Structure 1
């Protein structure tokens, strides 16, 4: 789940060389993954450990690209599915006493630490399946990739699409993002635009000599405050939209009337729309204002229409839900691979100072995927 569009600060920990035990308890494996700090930009140590563990499995063909690792079975099955997950995390918390940090810690059967939900619990499930489901009914491509939590241009999955597209051929994909163990289909798209208002600078003691650009932005805020977001049904799932101001820049000093103000707007739109349609919707709402699109990512339709998806939903045994946030199922959808989200942990805990996951939730996800693949 993307964190922001900035490069995080330098890593706080140097990860030790670690040998991962893929055949033991998958929850303990998740803890071992969490103990290797991998804030975006510092994934190398974890990628090394993942690569070494996978190369020790003779039934897999392994490829390393930067800090992304791809492992594939080659059993000649009629279908091939992708199990994908990112190995990076958002920066560590700075609040003293936070439990969402590195190394991990246990409180009974609950695992605390950075990456517990987003998404080293899911990565542990991938690795456990790679080691234990050696004769799956479908061929499997395992993808472990870097730089998901930063700008989309840095994405390791995007780099694999550009440089090793042949490794990603599949009929269906599962992204092991946290979903509380429920299949979540597709994802909303996201677009950011900046609305700029202009004024005339003056000394604030003689304000009548200037024009206040921040005041000129008030109608933008009023329109967005009054905006009623839609809920859109796409292939049987209801996607909730939202449009919000997420940042405002303006002013130069405490005694100067501001001559410019920039209002940053984030629109999360249902996957029935393209980014171009989403941008047109924002422009219509804010007609009369100067708008510049700074970033956009298409959503993904639910991906539940294929036989593989139907059999997977049946194996999980729960009604599927929509994914409201943006995830990399959209990247798979763009290259023609229907995909869903499914993984352990509560997505509302992702990136929090209290990030945690129940050990039994990790084990249950492993059991569901093993049933389906076995």
Structure 2
């Protein structure tokens, strides 16, 4: 890790910013291959000569290892990100000098603008440079991983886990900046998951002039909605921090024409889950003719190792103190991340990254260069710390 007081510091700060711009410029909403190529090439050039191992798996995940790679007793810490992004707005896309599609990248007022700058190529760049620079303690394997498919349900993380990716600890570099107070990068120790469900009520059609001849599926659906409304939202506590979930009916469709008793009605439900708790939506099936189906279940995350959570917070506080900033805190996050999949597989996780609320997925998406530098310090500091 470079000395905070040495002359190299501005070069490292600029390196993280330049690498962020390079990654952000590469389209990766429909195909992550080119972005993965850039990450893999940089890691091979910058870290393999010093003994790191760089891999690219079948789905495009880029994973690198250094430190106690061959020690079966070593503990492993992973710095984790993703290089896919949501589709850009029209003004975020242009062509480069070669006539190829490229994302528009601008640097102004201390920020980098472009699709994926906040979510989350800036933090990926900071983690890449930290991985290269940090010297892990004896008995520690340091891992860098950038996954594909995070924006579409964590397909890359799930593939890696199924193939044996199982770090003991992981810092997922999703956004945690400005959560407890302005201009701090906090440490998330728990986040919500998301379970998307469908209730389908079946009935029997009849002419609307003789409603008693049928079985109104909309009425059955309304009875099921009443059950959902009566359920308690999931809630829990992680290291003293409250995590409050929610359950909400978000859509209802039944009937095709005004003079026919509907024989089918569909309800959609958005549930924000918390570690270890979910709403008892199966109770809706007590209504005759109603069937409950889970369409998507993104798992929540709750850190399972207090020493790791405290070590990450200590690294974050050291970085903030060096820069003369207020102290960060342990916080919770409302959004699901790949930390949920890793936690479900047994990895102790925290989330800490540059993105601020309201930046991701917007047409004006941007990230602060100061915060990227701060994240580099946190990641490298944690990678060199014992706990």
Which TM class, normalised by the smaller chain length? Answer: 0.7 to 0.9
**1:83 aligned onto 2:79:** yes
Distance in 2 separating the partners of 1:45 and 1:255: 55
SS at match of 1:143: strand
Question: Which of 58, 61, 64 matches 1:68?
Answer: 61
SS at match of 1:111: strand
Moved more, 188-197 or 289-298: 289-298
**1:139 aligned onto 2:148:** no
Assess, with a 3 A threshold, how the Cα gap between structure 1 residues 194 and 320 changes in structure 2: closer, same or farther: same
Question: Which of 151, 170, 175 matches 1:173?
Answer: 170
Moved more, 66-75 or 48-57: 66-75
Aligned-residue offset at 1:120: 1.1
SS at match of 1:114: coil
Structure 1 or 2, whichever has the larger Rg, is 2
Aligned-residue offset at 1:351: 1.9
Aligned-residue offset at 1:139: 3.0
**1:48 aligned onto 2:37:** yes
Alignment of 1:126-205 (within 5 A): 126-133=127-134, 135-137=135-137, 138-152=140-154, 155-163=155-163, 165=164, 168-180=165-177, 181-201=185-205
Aligned-residue offset at 1:110: 2.3
Assess, with a 3 A threshold, how the Cα gap between structure 1 residues 97 and 35 changes in structure 2: closer, same or farther: closer
Contact 1:23 1:131 in 2 (8 A): no
> 5+ residue gaps in structure 1?
1-20
Corresponding residue for residue 5 of structure 1: none
Assess, with a 3 A threshold, how the Cα gap between structure 1 residues 223 and 182 changes in structure 2: closer, same or farther: same
Contact 2:77 2:167 in 1 (8 A): yes
Distance in 2 separating the partners of 1:70 and 1:207: 65
Corresponding residue for residue 314 of structure 2: 314
Contact 1:304 1:340 in 2 (8 A): no
**1:240 aligned onto 2:244:** yes
Aligned-residue offset at 1:43: 0.3
Contact 2:255 2:265 in 1 (8 A): yes
Distance in 2 separating the partners of 1:199 and 1:34: 51
Question: Which of 35, 39, 43 matches 2:25?
Answer: 35
Distance in 2 separating the partners of 1:97 and 1:50: 21
Distance in 2 separating the partners of 1:350 and 1:23: 22
Contact 1:201 1:256 in 2 (8 A): yes
Corresponding residue for residue 305 of structure 1: 306
Assess, with a 3 A threshold, how the Cα gap between structure 1 residues 226 and 116 changes in structure 2: closer, same or farther: farther
> 5+ residue gaps in structure 2?
1-10, 95-101, 178-184, 318-327
Corresponding residue for residue 293 of structure 1: 294
Aligned-residue offset at 1:90: 1.3
Aligned-residue offset at 1:150: 1.0
Normalised by the length of structure 1, the TM-score is 0.80
Distance in 1 separating the partners of 2:299 and 2:254: 30
Assess, with a 3 A threshold, how the Cα gap between structure 1 residues 112 and 74 changes in structure 2: closer, same or farther: same
Corresponding residue for residue 327 of structure 1: 337
Summarize deviations over 1:146-201 as a string: whole Å, max 9, x none. Answer: 1111145xx112111222x1xx3433110111111211013323323221122344
Contact 1:81 1:140 in 2 (8 A): yes
Aligned-residue offset at 1:355: 2.1
SS at match of 2:43: helix
Count, aligned residues: 338
Contact 2:92 2:363 in 1 (8 A): no
Alignment of 1:89-108 (within 5 A): 89-93=85-89, 102-108=103-109
